[in-house]
Amino acid sequence: MGGVLVRPIILTVLIYLFLKFIVPTLPHSAPLPSSLIFLYLMLTTAGIVIFATLSGASKDAFFGPIFRFLTGESGGALSSARYLVLALFPLLVGWQTYGSTAFSDAPPAENRTIHPAPPGEYTGLSNPVPKTPDNIMYGKGLYASRCSPCHGNFDGKGFAAPGFTPPPANFKDPTTIAMLQESFLFWRIKKGGVGLPVEGMPWKSAMPRWELELSDEDIWKVIMGEYDGAGQKPRTWDESE
């Protein structure tokens, strides 16, 4: 009898379970914020309502049970449920109103862009230093003395890392240097945290401005050592096309 409503509800629940538990397990994915899940569920509900009101008959079939439930015509065990819903709805509205007006202990949300666009002069630069074993080894040596205190064994877990927020990048993570071009790393190493644009929140980054201490050639060598040590390859124009 309630099949008209049971199907949409099952569909909504399945979509929720998919977003909450399946999506985070997909490759390169992450848990979705509850606000985004809520938005998707609202879109799903809107779609169901649009589908159910395409014709007069389907509209009656969809809303009929709801109307009868709300007016108490259903009778039986549903009467208790009706009172429960009628009592819960105002309480939920009150709770939500309190939550949105009461002082929050949560600090301001920070939408920091982790890999912002570099200035134009750095875009597309190619590494001019030959990728020889000696150069890579030299770059690794510089990495060990200059970078590893924070970036550790290419995993972002150096002994100096814990006090910094945002944390030093983990180069073994496929979402860091593996998806970046060498020119991007050159810019980030040369100009450091203070070189970031506003969306990168430069005031929080501890990354040194290495142009004060390293030559451009040494920075290119560090980049080679970094990719080699992390077991990654830089993204190239060919691959991105």
Q: Is 156 in the site for other proteins (CB under 8 A)?
A: no
Instruction: Give the residue, chosen from 142, 207, 219, 222, that forms a contact with other proteins under the rule CB under 8 A.
Output: 207
Q: Is 128 in the site for other proteins (CB under 8 A)?
A: no
**Minimal distance in Å, beta carbon 185 to other proteins?**
17
Q: Is 96 in the site for other proteins (CB under 8 A)?
A: yes
Q: Contacts with other proteins in 173-202 (CB under 8 A)? A: 191-198, 201-202
Q: Is 34 in the site for other proteins (CB under 8 A)?
A: yes
Q: Contacts with other proteins in 55-74 (CB under 8 A)? A: 56-57, 60-61, 64-65, 67-71, 73-74
Instruction: Give the residue, chosen from 91, 133, 134, 238, that forms a contact with other proteins under the rule CB under 8 A.
Output: 91
- If the CB atoms of residues 12 and 235 are measured against other proteins, the closer one turns out to be 12
Q: What is the CA radius of gyration of the chain?
A: 28
Instruction: Give the residue, chosen from 125, 129, 178, 206, that forms a contact with other proteins under the rule CB under 8 A.
Output: 206
- If the CB atoms of residues 89 and 174 are measured against other proteins, the closer one turns out to be 89
62-77 core/surface letters (b: 16 or more CB in 10 A; e: else)? bbebeeebeeeebeee
Instruction: Give the residue, chosen from 30, 50, 100, 133, that forms a contact with other proteins under the rule CB under 8 A.
Output: 100
**Minimal distance in Å, beta carbon 88 to other proteins?**
6
Instruction: Give the residue, chosen from 48, 78, 125, 129, that forms a contact with other proteins under the rule CB under 8 A.
Output: 78
Pure H helices in the chain? 3-17, 34-52, 56-71, 78-101, 133-142, 148-151, 182-191, 216-230, 237-240
User: 59: Cβ–Cβ under 8 A, 6 or more apart, which residues?
Assistant: 52, 53
- If the CB atoms of residues 9 and 137 are measured against other proteins, the closer one turns out to be 9
Q: Is 150 in the site for other proteins (CB under 8 A)?
A: yes
For the chain, the residue count is: 241
How many whole angstroms separate alpha carbon 157 and alpha carbon 144? 13
Cβ(185)–Cβ(230) under 8 Å? Answer: no
User: 126: Cβ–Cβ under 8 A, 6 or more apart, which residues?
Assistant: 182, 183
First to last CA, the chain: 55
Instruction: Give the residue, chosen from 203, 237, 238, 241, that forms a contact with other proteins under the rule CB under 8 A.
Output: 203
User: 77: Cβ–Cβ under 8 A, 6 or more apart, which residues?
Assistant: none
